[in-house]
Amino acid sequence: MKGEYALKRTIPIAKPVLGREEVEAVRKVFESGILVQGERIKMFEKEFAEYIGVEHAVAVANGTLALDAALKALKLGSGDEVVTSAFSFIASSNCVLYQGAKPVFADIDPRTFNIDPADVAKKITAKTKAIIPIHLYGQPAEMGALKEIAEDHGIALVEDAAQAHGAEYEGRKVGGLGDIGCFSLYATKNMTTGEGGIITTNNRELARKVRLLINHGDTGKYNHVILGYNYRMSEASAAVGSVQLKKLDRSNEIRKKNASGLTRGIEMISGLTPPYVRDNVKHVFYQYVIRVEESYLMDRDKLAERMRGNEVGTAVHYPTPVYRQPLYKELGYGKTVCPIAEDASKRVLSLPVHPKVNEDDIAYILNILKEIS
């Protein structure tokens, strides 16, 4: 069994699901000659808003700019604080820095790796203007508790939904649970336009401001009413986005099935902990992340190396809490400590779960893990 699998398989950690339909959609755009600011963007925005169940969606060039535009629309600035997770991709807090505001890091839940509402509550001050939870790895953050905190303090709730297209919290899709939601459509995400992003909201005024911000503050015919930017998405990207959106539920189902298969095997291995899924959410497994416990026979990095030696791609999301990044140390975060994020950064290991992973791949991954363990 071992030899048979070992010789045959190379399983990357990520692979986009792209086919003829995307190629055809792009071809049509180029043939039309309308490459920017046309009907495809409008159509994609409408379809995405309907899918999430919100009134407005605004497509942008990437997820980082989605967050930036959202915070600019909320008028964040110097002296303001924003509480966000210590354990995320750096864009979640960098977008706060772009405003001249201060990210304040909250620790995480050790089981889900999502921001811990109890620690968020402790980090709120008179200067706090917003909370940015991240739906990490495709699992919604604890939005009920976070919404309560935001409402009690009269502050904004900005969802970083970059990793959670189609994920649900108590039956409602993320991106429509806070004041404004921000998605990334980067190449590895559950749906992609290569580079891309999209902002979702039920707040008409925020949607209006975001639309102005991403297009040089133009109300039409070169009438510029605010300082805006060019954060626009292209027509070709929007056309791909529409096709990808149609495939999203099916892709998420395959991710979920792959995750269940992996969990069934990993549960049997002492020292490895499969992902914990809260019972009030739909997790869409952007990443399938295990914990390599202290009791396991080797450390996380050694296990990753052994998997790599067997052609199984792995990744560490993320090897350090954000405040430990050189940039943040330089900014004076040297004394910040979030112990659970620190521990998680040493233990997490992402295994392939994307829709191009099939049952044989899962069997191969589990077989390798069992042999190593």
Residues that bind ligand PLP (CB under 6 A): 62-64, 88-89, 91-92, 134, 160, 162-163, 184, 186, 197
Q: Which residue has the tokens 């990443």?
A: 287
Rank residues 181 and 352 by Cβ distance to ligand PLP and give the closer one: 181
HSE on the CB side for 315, CA within 13 Å? Answer: 13
Bridge partners of 36, per DSSP, are: none
Q: What is the Cα 283 distance to its own chain's centre?
A: 12
Between CA 97 and CA 349 the distance in angstroms is 28
Between CA 348 and CA 342 the distance in angstroms is 11
Rank residues 189 and 291 by Cβ distance to ligand PLP and give the closer one: 189
* Residue 201 three-state SS: strand
Minimum CB distance to ligand PLP, residue 145 (Å): 20
List the structure tokens of 227: 């300082």
Minimum CB distance to ligand PLP, residue 5 (Å): 31
Maximum alpha-carbon separation in the chain: 68
Minimum CB distance to ligand PLP, residue 134 (Å): 5
Minimum CB distance to ligand PLP, residue 215 (Å): 18
Q: Which residue has the tokens 């060039």?
A: 61
Minimum CB distance to ligand PLP, residue 371 (Å): 32
Rank residues 182 and 303 by Cβ distance to ligand PLP and give the closer one: 182
Minimum CB distance to ligand PLP, residue 277 (Å): 18
Closest CA to 96 of 135, 105, 319: 105
List the structure tokens of 33: 């000659």
Between CA 175 and CA 178 the distance in angstroms is 7
For residues 115 and 85, is the Cβ–Cβ distance under 8 A? yes
List the structure tokens of 311: 């052609």
Rank residues 163 and 242 by Cβ distance to ligand PLP and give the closer one: 163
Between CA 347 and CA 15 the distance in angstroms is 24
Rank residues 124 and 162 by Cβ distance to ligand PLP and give the closer one: 162
DSSP string, 266-294: HTTSTTEEPPP--TTEE---SSEEEEE-T
Rank residues 261 and 352 by Cβ distance to ligand PLP and give the closer one: 352
Minimum CB distance to ligand PLP, residue 189 (Å): 7
Minimum CB distance to ligand PLP, residue 109 (Å): 16
Rank residues 134 and 143 by Cβ distance to ligand PLP and give the closer one: 134
Q: Which residue has the tokens 């995320």?
A: 88
